[in-house]
Amino acid sequence: MPPDRVTVVIPTYNERENLPDISKAVTAHGYDLLVVDDSSPDGTGDLADRLATEDPRISVLHRSSKQGLGPAYAEGFDRALEDGAHIVIEMDADFSHDPADLPRLVDAIGDGADLAIGSRYVSGGSTPDWPLTRRVISKGGNLYARMMLGIPTRDATAGFRAFRAGALRSLPYREAQSSGYAFQVEMAMQAHEGGLKVVEVPISFRDRTRGTSKMGTGIVVEAMRLVTVWGWKRAVRGVRSWGQ
């Protein structure tokens, strides 16, 4: 895969401290970088514009306000596909996802996957900076998603993933019900229901060292509520199908 056919989409909100270094790390692979900024009050968007003037591989999409992760990715996907990307990658700005792992996701697509997920919960994956309580909560949430949705993905909440362009076009990401991190679960569910080939690539997930996490209680509550709703709808469809 030619590197310039790979676009890494990074949503940002107040990531000024991380943006210069993460931009260099992504473009060092020869990949294009699309920064999707939600009008960060710390000037992240202005900094992204300056970086884009210095490196033609960097482009910026400005959104008028903070509207959530799902809508940010949806707009970023549209732009990346319009610009001719063959592989579109999701990635956080805070180095919790190691840029050195990007080629491994690209290689997984090259080997035939439609969606390659950087997974903490397959053999070789890890969360070295996390206390036991956080690991239990995260693994428990993923187990709940697998049980409710009937999907095999062990890390459905992971935000480090690569899509084959044709596969991404087949997903209803513009109509996603989630605006937060449940967007990742929703896309994994849609990929499995659509018959796409999904693989998990083990990664080590690190905590950020600069900036502030965007994860809050409301995002977790939204995710649990939506997974429960989707699971019940799946169960109802199964009962109806069984009764026919």
pLDDT of residue 237: 73
Domain hosting residue 127, numbered range: 3-243
Tokens linked to 230: 């989707």
pLDDT of residue 223: 82
Question: Closest Cα to residue 83, out of 8, 20, 21?
Answer: 8
pLDDT of residue 211: 64
Tokens linked to 79: 């732009």
CB 148 within 8 A of CB 227: yes
Per-residue pLDDT of the chain (244 residues; tens, 9 = 90+): 788 899 999 999 999 999 999 999 999 999 999 999 999 999 999 999 999 999 999 999 999 988 889 999 999 999 999 999 999 999 999 999 999 999 999 999 999 999 999 999 999 999 998 999 989 989 999 999 999 999 999 999 999 999 999 999 999 999 998 888 899 999 999 999 999 999 999 999 998 777 676 555 677 787 888 999 989 888 877 656 665 5
Q: Which helix (H) or strand (E) holds 15?
A: none
Considering its fold, how many domains does the chain have in total?
Answer: 1
Question: Closest Cα to residue 206, out of 51, 112, 101?
Answer: 101
Tokens linked to 235: 């169960």
Q: Positive or negative, the Cα torsion across 175, 118, 88, 92? A: positive
pLDDT of residue 188: 96
b/e map 127-137, b = 16+ CB within 10 Å: beebeeeeeee
CATH code, domain with 206 = 3.90.550.10
pTM over 0.85: yes
pLDDT of residue 178: 85
CA distance 53 to 56: 7
Q: How far is CA 41 from CA 16, 73, 99, in A?
A: 10, 20, 26
Tokens linked to 73: 């990715």
- Give the Cβ contact number of residue 42 at 10 Å: 14
Matching residue, tokens 């999701």: 90
CA distance 221 to 134: 16
